[in-house]
Structures are given as C-alpha cells and as structure tokens.
Chain A
Amino acid sequence: MEVQGPEVREGLLCTAQDRLPGGISREGSMTGRHELGRGYPNLSAAVRDNWLPSEGLASHPLDEHVADSHMDEPLLADIEDEYEGVCAANASSDEYSDVGEDVGGADTEVVFVKEGVCVFPTASRHQRILGRLSLIKQYNCLFICWLPYAAGAVQLEDASGAGQRGDAGGGNGAVESAKDRTMYAVHPIPLSDVRAIHKHTPPLGQHRITLTLATGVSLPSLHFQNGGIKSFLSCLREHGPLVRSADDPNTYLINDTTDPLQRSLFSLELTDVLVGRPPAGASSTYSPFAGPLAAEGDMSLRAQLSELVDRFQQLTQNARDTASSLFSGSMLMGAGGPMAEPHLTAAASTAAAAAATAAAASSTPATAAAPAGPAPDPDSRRSSLEASTDLGVFELIEGGGGAAAAGGSPWSRARPPPPPLSLAELHTFFDADGRMTNFSEFKQRVHDGGVEAEARPEAWKLLLGLHAPGSTRAERQEEVEQRRAAFQRLRSQWRTMLPGQEAKCSKWRERRTRIDKDVRRTDRGLRFFAREKSQAHNMLREMLLTYERYNQDLGYVQGQSDLAAPCLYVMRSAVAESGQLANADALGVEAEAFWCFASLMERMEANFCSDSRAMHAQLLALRSLVQLLDPPLYAHLEAHDCLNFFFCYRWLLLHFKREFGFEEVLRLWEAIWSGVPGLHLYLENWDFDGMLKFCVELSGRLRLEPLLRDADLLASYAAGAGRDIVATAMAGAAAAD
C-alpha cells in the first residue's frame, strides 16, 4: 500500500529524527536494555529512517494533541485533552494489525502499530510519556518497539504545575522528561529476548502490559490508553510462539521451550512474580531456579509491588482529580444548597455510577461484529466470554469484571464487611445524655456495614441532618415535636384551600393530579404500598403535596415519589404497631418522613430542575470517570455513540432506586449519605479512594447472585441511550440466527 508522496516522506523523516535526539540505541548505554538493540543496527536504521509511512501518521491527531498539551489549567484541560485524544485516535482507527507496510527493504515489515501507548516514569500522573508501540518483522524475526513521541510532544504538566507554584523548576521538568524519554524507550527488542508478557487488565483502571526480558529485567509498564492489548497479543501470537501460562492466565510466555521440566519450573516460579531465565539453549552460568528466589528475583518482586501501588495511587488520584475539577468547576450542584453537601452527594453518586457502569461493563452488550477497526481482531470472538441474559447474549468486554478480574483487584482481598449496625450498637455511640460522641466513626460504621432495620429511623435522621450529632436525647425529642408542628402547618396550607381558591390555581390542580396518579404507580410491588387508597398511599400523597407547597419554585417533579417512598417506609418502621395507625402516630410518621425527604431533596434538588444542567454536568463527570477508569468500556460506548451517558440518567436521578431491590436501595442510600468523613470529599486523598472502594465492594456484594444481578444491571443499562447498544446487539444476534 503506497500512500504518500516523497515530500511527505521527507517531512516524516525530519520529524522522526527530531523525535529521537541522540539517535537510537547505538548511542544509548544507560541501561542494559539499550544495548539490546545493538545487534540489529540495520533494523534501528530502518525504523528511524522509514518510520512508518502509513496514512494518517503525517498529521496524526494524537501528535497534535500532545503538542498542544502545555496547558495552564492542568486538571480540567488534561481531561478534555485526553478525551479528545481518545476521540481522535478512534476516529482515525489507528489500531490495526498486519499493516503490511514495507519499511526497511524487502524483509522488514511493520505488523502492528498502536498509538498513544504511554509510560508513567514516576508516580506522578503529570509525567506521562506518550509513544507508539509497534511490532516489526525482519528476516523472520519479530521485534517489539516502543518509542516516545517528539520532545515537544511530551506531556509536561509537571512543568506548568511547578510554574504555578512559583518555583523555577519548570525547566527541570522538561529536562527530566527529555531524559526519561530516551531512558524509557524500548528500542527494537527481538522477541527472543523477551521472556514473558504480563497483562494487567484491572476492571477499573488503565490496561497495561509489562515485558520481562530473558535477563529477568522488567521494563516499565506500557499503558494502553484506549484498549488494544488483545490485538497486540493476537498479533504476537500470529508471528511467534506465545503461550498462556498455565498458572496465571494474565501471563504470556514467549519462547516457552518444549522442555517440560523447564516449563514446570517456570510456571512454578512465575505465578507471583516474573523472573527471567536465560534464553533457551544458552549455556547458563546463572539460574534463578537453582534455589529459593534469588536476590534479584526479590528485587523484582518488590519493584513490581511498589509499581503496582504507585499505579494504583495514581489511578485513584486521577479519578479524584477528575471528579474534583468537574464538580468544583461546574458548581452546579452546590448552587441550590447552603452547604457543600450537594457536592458530596453528587460526587458520591457519580462515583457510584461509575462503579456501577464498570460493573455493568462486565456484561456490556456486545457488538462484536461491529468494531470500528478495519481489521477485526480474529481472536476476539474465540476468547471473549459471553453472558446470556433475558435481553440476549452479550460479550463480556475484555478486562471487565468477572471472577478472574475481581480476584486480581487490589480491593478483593479487603476484609469482609461488618454486620449491619444494630440498635444496641447504635446506642453505644451515644453518651449518657444521648449525644453522639463520634459522628465520623458512626458514619464509617454505617458506610462499612449498613444499618439494621430497627436502627434505621434514628440513623437516617442523623445521616440526613435532621438532628445534629451533638444533640441530646431530650433535644432531639423536642425537635421531633417542632418538626411535627411545622409539618402540620405546611400541610394545612393545601388542606385548607377553599374550592374557589383551587379553581383559580390551575398549576396546583395539575400537580395534584400528577401526584395522585404517580403515588398509584410507586413501589406497588412492595407490600407496604400494595393496596391502593391505603394509609401508606395517603401518607405518601400528603408528603408530596406538602412538598409541592414547601418548595413551590421546584414543585412536584416525577421521580420525587421514588425518593419519598423509602423515607416513608423507614420512618413507618419506627412505630411498632402493624396495620392502620392512629391519627397521632400517623402524623408523627408522616412528619418525620416528610422532613427526611425534604432533606434528601436539598441534596437532589438540582437534578430535578427542568434545565437539566446538573444532570448533564453529572453525566459529563461520569463520562470522564469511565474514560479514566475503564478505557475499553469508554471506547465501546464511543463506538456506539453513547457518550452522552443518558442510559445512566435514571441511576443518578433516583439514586439507583430502580436498579436494585428495595432493601438494597436502603443500604446503598445510607452508605452514600454516610459519604466519607468531611464534606469536601474531593479535597482529601483518602475520601475518594474510600468511596470508590466502597462502590466496588458494594457492587461485588450486590452481585452475589450474579445472574440476577447482571440481568438487573443489564436491564438498567438498557434504559436510555444504552438501548441503542442493546438494539444493535439484538439486531446482530437476530441476524446471526
């Protein structure tokens, strides 16, 4: 495929040389790996001089994107920028294998290219070195190569960040990065020098691979920012011996000899850490298998562990920064409320949505037949997992969920959750006067284990701020009385309307009609609300009518009944009698339920505004989180034009109310409300990590009945624009029948 005229090639040549100051490996001798290219000068030259004259490269959007990346506003701009980068990469379908380009004479062929593969030289997310991963075939020998983009193209957010802090370290960052680029470059390494490839595909987080050389050296992880590991591996498999380790499905052994002894030794030693061994057939004076793990192996293990921890920190920090910048940037959620709590709720539920999305991703509807790339991965269908549900058969996206992935998650080893907080235990949080002595500990406890039904009314009132934690029992009793009186006053505003007055108030009549209709279609599956015109129905109706008067600017909006119903259910459970309540008791329950609902609405109000700005902001935040945490899913959604995330609309609006069983919703809500200590969720490192951790743990727990849960998630996933995917998948399945 001849694609470009000589003048363009000329330009490319210059660019290629600019990109590699100091030339290629022959000059470099900083590390062992630089010497690896030594035996292959021709190849190096071929790579340098004929660097991929493939279409799209001359003005690859990613290059432009990288070159423009000196931004003043690192956080937000980075997100935007990354986002565009991914878009651009997808738009140009840069992922392909078997390119068949003739680069360095008759016997050199680039068989795989993946743009935008990056290395994080430090734990700082600001220092990301973007580059191009390729597989090159020469004289029947396959080479792996990763080279960073040009000097100006390196992401130097660190430098701008330093500038903002007022020190003169901007230049330093640049120098360091330039050094890093050459240092981290993986110059063409013959596949025979590679011992193993370890694939890391966490359910949340960037997918990456680590190459371990025959010498035992592990190269820095290569991060695939928008997927592509699968095609990389399948391309490798086509061109060379690649065997999946029997013990660790994420480890691929290269040059695995047929010597069964060697192989079993290898798999024995390599289950936890990749330790190299001499190339097969080489006379080795050093064998890592001669005894217990040699010191070098230990180092390697430690290095890998610390790398893992670094990466993990980086990931959660990225997520936090994303949420932080979005929420502090838009300020929409806070506009309605006097406190920062709306931020908290919004951020928390967005994070939860991200986790749920990731969980759902494990069963994302398949459109295996319609990947955007020109060369569909031949391996994808064979190796992909499938999930069968009511809606059809779905492909499990690579790396998403599943027992294997969960087992690899750093969170899955966390201690089991404590039992729900009982009433007796709740009382241990109070002093003699009934003051809560340690509110944050209480919230943590709720967060970790939930609350037993008995203790729920009291716990919810504390969580929702109806009572100050420092209030005494007597004060709280008094507050209950006050709230009851206030509720009664509010309720009488509409109860005492005269017929003539009502006739003049069309808006009120319209809203009342709606409330009447909607109360009849809220949680009717629940026994509590099953019977029409029951006391529960009437209480729910009165709560909503009273709220309509209480917050006339907002008024009644559909969805409120879904939020009010659990409040009523929980407050009703505070009264022991079953069946019909006496009027006084009913008033008390209704009043407390109303104020719980009103407090919840303080947090959720922005979501219900007709301009939908808050919802759009949250959906945008969610999109960014998914992009960050689950690039393959993001790419999938993008390919199917679902990036508006409208399919999450109901999740966010109703706090996942329709997505889980009623009891689970109560548990989920109290966990969300407990949030994490401190109102400024996103300001503290631990907070967001904690929240994310919770979401993942929770979704794990909710998936105890995996099939049911998957079906639930899928059903909810299918709501909104996600239906497009489902439809496509179903159309595909139907067509295949």
Chain B
Amino acid sequence: MIALLLRDLRLAVRAGGGFGLGLAFFLIVVVLVPFGVGPDTAVLSRIAPGNLWVASLLAALLSLDRIFALDYEDGSLALLATSPLPLEGAAMMKALAHWITTGLPLTLAAPALGFLLSLAPEAYAYLLLSLLIGTPALSMIGTFGAALTVGLRRGGLLLSLLVLPLYVPTLIFGAEAVRRGADGLDPSGALMLMGGITAGCFALLPFATSAVLRVNLR
C-alpha cells in the first residue's frame, strides 16, 4: 500500500501531475473575493472564515477526477483490482495521496490567505486546525465520488454535482469552528463533530469506494 502511495505522490509532483493546481486556484479565489465584496475590512473579516472554507473546498474538488481516471485509462486500475492489494486499502491510499498533494498544502497556505481577508487574529489557530481535521474528509468523500464516476465521459462535472452536497457537513462545522474562534467563543464542539465526520468517512468510505470500483470495472 505504501508503494501505491509513493507512486501517486511521485506522479503528482512530476510534470503533468497537477500538483499545485489546487493551491493556485485557492489563491486566486481568495484574492478575487475582495474585488467582488469591496475593500471594507470589517465586512471581509466577517466573511473570511466561510470564504476560506468554501475556497479550499472548491480547490480540493479541482483535482478529484484525476484520482481514478488516469489509472482507469491506462489500465492500471484493472491490474490493481486483480493484485494482492486490497482495493479498500488502495482507495484509502488514493485519498491519502490526494490529501497530501491538495489538502495539506491548502491547510498550510490558508493562514497566509486569511491575512488577505483580514481574518481576526484569534482565528488563525482554529483555521489551521479545522482545515487539518476537515480536509482529509474532503479527500475521502471525493475519492468515493471519483470512483462513482470513473469511466464516464465528462465525469468531472457529474463528480462535482455528486460530491459538493456531501461536503456540506464538513463545510458547516469547519466554517463554524473558525467563526467561533474569531468571535472568541469555544470552537471545540464544531471541531469534534468535524473530527467525527472525518473518522466516519475513513472508516466507511474505503469499503464503499472499493465496491463501486468493482462494479465500474465490470
């Protein structure tokens, strides 16, 4: 399984892997917000938690369709499915590789972008923490969505429609945690609920992903 993780990471950082694409997208979306909303720092700082979360969610969405599509096209998905590697494990490694190449850079870049939106100083720690807890769930749910649409032409659009509603709970609790942090309230409830979502996703979705992949490979 480690071999698959290392291969996916290596593919992501090599030419054409799309590494950094999500990060650049995140940057642009966040930079666009003040142009749309206006330079009023009071307004910006109020909408910053939600904005940062929505932007990181969209950025994570961007590279989802590559998770299985490339392996499906070159035939290695069928070879992986017939290999001794459990497909559930492969699904989890795929999600993990997606998180390391997308979710983790987003998490680390978010504080810098929070500055652009004049996020309240108290909220930075919770922004980092909430993204750290929440983005793995985004990758795992996205991997499941990618498995559902693998082999479909123009599956990327359908994938967004399928996955975005499933992102709602993570978004609500993530943004809520940051907002409470910014207002000086205790955000631990929202953070714990989000941790529960992430843990639940990693416990259940690898099995669902593997079942869906087997159907799609038939």
Q: Do A and B come from one complex?
A: no
Binding site for B on A (CB under 8 A): none
